[in-house]
Chain A
Amino acid sequence: MSWHAAPAEAWRALGANRLRTALTMLGMIIGVGAVVLMLAVGEGARGTVTQAINAMGSELLLVSPGASSSGGFRFGSGTASTLTLKDAEAVAQLATVSAVAPVFHSGAQLVYGPRNWNTTVYGVTPDYLLVRSWSLESGQPFTLTDVRRGTRVALLGQQVARSLFGDQDPLNQTIRIKSLPFRVVGVLERKGQSLDGRDQDDIVMVPINTAQTKLFGNPFPGTVRFITVQARSAELMEDAEADIEQLLRGRHRLAKGVENDFTIRDLTAVAETAAQSARAMTVMLGAIASVSLLVGGIGIMNIMLVSVTERTREIGIRMAIGARHRDILLQFLLEALLLCVLGGLVGILLGMGGSQLVSELAEMTVIITGDSIVLSFLFAASTGVFFGFYPARKAALLKPVEALRHE
């Protein structure tokens, strides 16, 4: 049989029993739809993580103080006050480091007019914006002079600006933080969620000296809560980590064998882990959806086997008038393939629609990639060939005389 005549024959055969064709195809539609949907959800989760990683800033090391102990009680890490502004300045001199941002933060109540809001106040230096790759939506950042003088100026995160000012422009307005007046000099750009799910826009930034001396009254003057360090390049991350450790051990006069009184965390590694788990989720979701595709494929094999039995006489007639093995094989294989390809196409549309629905109802990010469409389609087609082959072969190997005798 010529190649272009065979698809028409297959189409006719499928059209002969429309209900059965539709029901068989449904298995394929659901399978492919599920694969497209699950890949879209997985890709969406990955996209969210990637976005969070990009928002965090790159090549970052987080240096935090070690655990404190008092009278035999050991507190959690970061509770000691072993890191100082001087440490930060010393770290900034390292060749492997490009920027250093010490942070002193604490919670505080904010008031503007009749409204108030509780948030985290970050005492930072101008470099903090640099290492976090965070820019301003409006206004100007404060300067090193502001830090030195302990000026009462503030940068508002999006969430804080909205909570205190609504639609009003916060620039140059005066808010009160712990009843001290601060002038709003800028509004930060939206940053979104962090990897651990915190709202990073719920923040106020003030000069670090202002926070330490005027706002929170530091029991250990000059200490900071943590230092964010940016390495000069991704390759220098480990070198920078080693340099910082060596430097700080020297500055803190830690003898050999004594534990570090600080910890250095590679935020890139944290991000990497998050990205990996997101990838794993995509794979897992795809694998689960593939099971339904497999079930759909088995449904097709089942129906094709029934079809071969039902049409044994037809096969006999075709053989009697000159159909070769491969003509019969091709005919049934094409029917299975056509079922899968049509079901696959409908399934792709369904999966795309479903993804849209999920993104709207569950407010999740879903990303449909061309790859996932092509992948699902190829998967559907190969399912057709795979599960269609056995029934088709069974049909082709029938003996003409026996097939003709079949009622």
Chain B
Amino acid sequence: MTLLAPSGLRVAAPPTGARDESEPLIQVTGLCKEYPLAGGGATPVLRDVRLAIASGEFVALMGPSGSGKSTLLNILGGLDTPNAGDYRLAGQAVAALSPNQLANLRNRQIGFVFQGFNLLQRSTIAENVALPLLYAGVGKAERQRRARELLEQVGLGHRADARPNQLSGGQQQRVAIARALANRPPLILADEPTGNLDTQTSEEIMALFSRLNVEQGITLLLVTHEPDVARYARRLVRFKDGRIVHDGEVNV
């Protein structure tokens, strides 16, 4: 598996023009999120969250169910909006973006990896991988070439025409990772990516993430329940009741 060659595979410098090198990739301040209850009132999920992640970091988010870590991930990925607070991605205030700009952000700046893989079952895995390129307006020939290249990169070049349900869980997650890499985003958000996988496969997936982080400098933010998985990260953020209770070394 070659990660440095061929050309163009390396992540480009942060995309939004000239910005302060010391500024973090993700900058969150005073972030609040609550979900309205059926009988009136609201459940707070995030309470005044403050978090900064620099470019090239590998961060694990841990915490009990309902502690708000997935909600934070959704907000960071532009899938959900906070009730209050400021979120800047690469210096850009995300709240100020139009729906189309937000879609563009998800398309080019962020790669998502989900617990349930979330592949389109009707499409081949090559088509799944090429889908972000389709929405980016890349031509057909280039889409196919790039999809094949990405599948090679995750070790599935020989299964390009298979359907997701013909692959094992680990293989499907590799496809999802290849898809997340399609537009060479600087940031990958993974929501319990090994939650559906056995230990050995989990290790393979985590090794792949580590390589992407080390060799391509991709910033990784990973939600997990499993201490074994969190150990691959270089920084640990613990959540409890919508607040960060630990931010620092991985000591699990």
Chain A positions near chain B (C-beta within 8 angstroms)? 1-2, 5, 12-13, 16, 313-314, 316-325, 327, 399-401, 404
Contact = CB atoms under 8 A, between A and B. Distances in A.
Contacts of A12: 122-123
Nearest to B135: A322
B193 interface: no
Interface of B: 74, 77-80, 99-100, 103-104, 106-108, 112, 114, 118-120, 122-123, 131-132, 134-137, 139-140, 179, 182-183
Contacts of B77: 320
A321 B120 contact: no
A319 B140 contact: no
Contacts of B100: 324-325
Contacts, number: 68
Contacts of A317: 118-120
B132 A322 contact: yes
Contacts of B183: 322
Contacts of B122: 12-13, 16
B135 A321 contact: yes
B151 to A, nearest CB: 16
A350 to B, nearest CB: 30
B118 A313 contact: yes
B148 to A, nearest CB: 18
B17 to A, nearest CB: 21
Contacts of B74: 401
B103 A319 contact: yes
A239 B183 CA distance: 84
B221 to A, nearest CB: 15
14 contacts: A1-B135, A317-B118, A319-B106, A320-B118, A322-B104, A322-B107, A322-B132, A322-B135, A322-B136, A327-B103, A399-B80, A400-B106, A401-B74, A404-B114
Nearest to B119: A317
B135 A324 contact: yes
Given A13-B122, A401-B74, A321 B131 contact: yes
A404 B80 CA distance: 11
A329 B118 CA distance: 21
A404 B79 contact: yes
A320 B134 CA distance: 13
A372 B198 CA distance: 64
A401 B82 CA distance: 12
A320 B74 CA distance: 10
Given A401-B74, A401-B80, A324 B131 contact: no
B150 to A, nearest CB: 13
Nearest to A12: B122
Nearest 5 A-B pairs (CB), nearest first?
Answer: A322-B107, A322-B135, A324-B103, A401-B80, A400-B79
A330 to B, nearest CB: 11
Contact of B135 (A313, A314, A327, A404): A327
A125 to B, nearest CB: 81
B100, B104, B131 — which one has the most chain A CB atoms within 10 A of its CB? B131
Nearest to A5: B134
A2 to B, nearest CB: 6
A322 B184 CA distance: 13
B120 A314 contact: yes
Contact of B79 (A16, A320, A323): A320
B123 A321 contact: no
Contacts of A16: 122
B177 to A, nearest CB: 13
B12 to A, nearest CB: 17
Contact of A321 (B80, B99, B140, B179): B179
B107 A321 contact: yes
Given A321-B106, A323-B103, A2 B134 contact: yes
A386 B151 CA distance: 41
Nearest to B122: A16
